[in-house]
Copies of this chain bind each other. A is one copy, B any other.
Amino acid sequence: MALIVQKYGGSSVSDIEKIKLVARKVIETKRKGHKLVVVVSAMGKTTDNLISLAKQITSNPPEKELDLLLSTGEIVSVALLCMAIEKYGEQAEGFPGYFAGIKTDSFHTKARIQKIEPTKIIIELEKDKIVVVAGFQGISYENSITTLGRGGSDLTAIALAGALKADICEIYTDVEGIFSADPNRVKNAKLIPVISYEELLEMASTGAKVMQSRAVEFAKKYKIPFIVKSTFKDGEGTMVKEIELKEGAVVSSVSIDENQAKISIFRVPDRPGIAGKIFTALGEAGINVDVIVQNVSRDNYADISFTVNINDMEKAKDIVEKVGEEIGAERIIVDHDICKVSIIGIGMMNHPGVAGKMFSCLAKSGINIEMISTSEIKISCVIRKKDGQIALTQLHKEFIEEMS
């Protein structure tokens, strides 16, 4: 008998038929003799609809009240799933996040879990009930309802699995697991059976639509393994856990991010503190800067280029133009015809020459590399947007298909 935590996202409970399906899956697991905690998200578009109601009142809704509002979405799912479980003959106990003992700080809309006190959950599990917990929400020490930010239900599940010392934590979603590349873009994309937390984090940062980073970071910090798998299709899914370096694939996945824009500032005086001035201003505006390249200085002037998410492009441009004027930069150019292709693999750390192989692969396809950024387990290249698909396909062929 194992203690299992399962999490079902919004697309898995988007209507009554799907909630019934989830209830049957849950019961199937229970009847194998396991103890079971189920974390659910709000139904489909509920959260978006609630946000839209709030925005009809005020364009910038106060965060504490927004949390109170949004917390209702998951509670609806909890109540309905409990009803469905009981209809099919098992006992269920539903918990809003604040009753489940999920204590957070007071940073509304993006609260961090401080402590989990799962006593009430344990009591109900011992009564042989299926415990259903509202994901995404907790309670602050000031007794206000908080929410954990987008993807917060994954975090709830992983944190509960850790606190309960669960044997397995399963994150059910609408995809079969984590793939070596987006299957919609690369037809030979393979399901990755095992992946490290670090690789998953890098995938998210390189534009792959996987789990929210906060949940993965939490799992990594507390060494909580979890499985990502499909609600609707059978399969083993992807196990995410700590991986010994020597076990890791050299390259486990290839990704593309087409939501990047490049901003270049020409003829910036090459004095200490100038780059700092630019990036501090961007940071203060909440803009995440991704790849940064500074050309070699000539005549005490340098060119600086960096990429930002395309949604931040206008805001970043305004800031850079303002700072550029102050520091006497010659010219600013914004370019959104770019994309970023990345290869990720924990085994890279043990295998020199991966970068060289990547650059050669792109060169063979006639693709020019404009910017490069690397971490210990990732190499990203900024290239022309029109070259993105071919780069993705060629890199996948070189590093994934020909390696297996």
Q: Tell me the residues in window 80-102 of chain A with beta carbons closer than 8 Å to chain B beta carbons.
A: 80, 82-84, 86-87, 92, 94, 96, 99
Q: Which residues of B contact A84 (CB under 8 A)?
A: 57-58
Known: A58-B83, A83-B54. A72 touches B76 (CB 8 A): yes
Contact with B along A4-48 (1 / 0, CB 8 A): 000000000000100110000000000000000000000000000
Residue A62, interface by CB 8 Å: yes
Chain B residues whose C-beta falls within 8 Å of the C-beta of A16 in the assembled complex: 53, 56-57
> CB-CB < 8 A to A66: which residues of B?
79, 83
Closest to A79 in B: B69
Q: Which of A76, A87, A94, A143 has its CB near the most chain B CB atoms (within 10 A)?
A: A76
Q: Complex: how many Å from CA A86 to CA B68? A: 15
Report the separation of the CA atoms of residues A58 and B78 in the bound assembly, to the nearest whole angstrom: 15
A75 at the interface (CB under 8 A from B): yes
**How many copies of the chain does the oligomer comprise?**
2
Is A65 close to B, CB under 8 A?
Answer: yes
Instruction: Among A61, A72, A86, A96, find the residue whose CB has the most chain B CB atoms closer than 10 A.
Output: A72
Q: Chain A's interface: helix, strand, loop or mixed, by majority?
A: helix
> Are A94 and B65 in touch, CB under 8 angstroms?
yes
Contact: B99 with A80, CB < 8 Å?
A: no
The 8 A CB mask of A155-178 against B (1 = contact, 0 = none) is: 000000000000000000000000
| Least distance between A38 CB and chain B CB atoms (Å) | 14
* Whole-angstrom distance between the Cβ of A376 and the nearest chain B Cβ: 44
| Given A19-B57, A83-B65: A75 touches B72 (CB 8 Å cut-off) | yes
A50 at the A/B interface (Cβ < 8 Å)?
yes
Which of these, B50, B79, B86, contacts A76 with CB under 8 Å? B50
Chain B hits for A65, CB < 8 A: 79-80, 82-83, 86, 92, 94
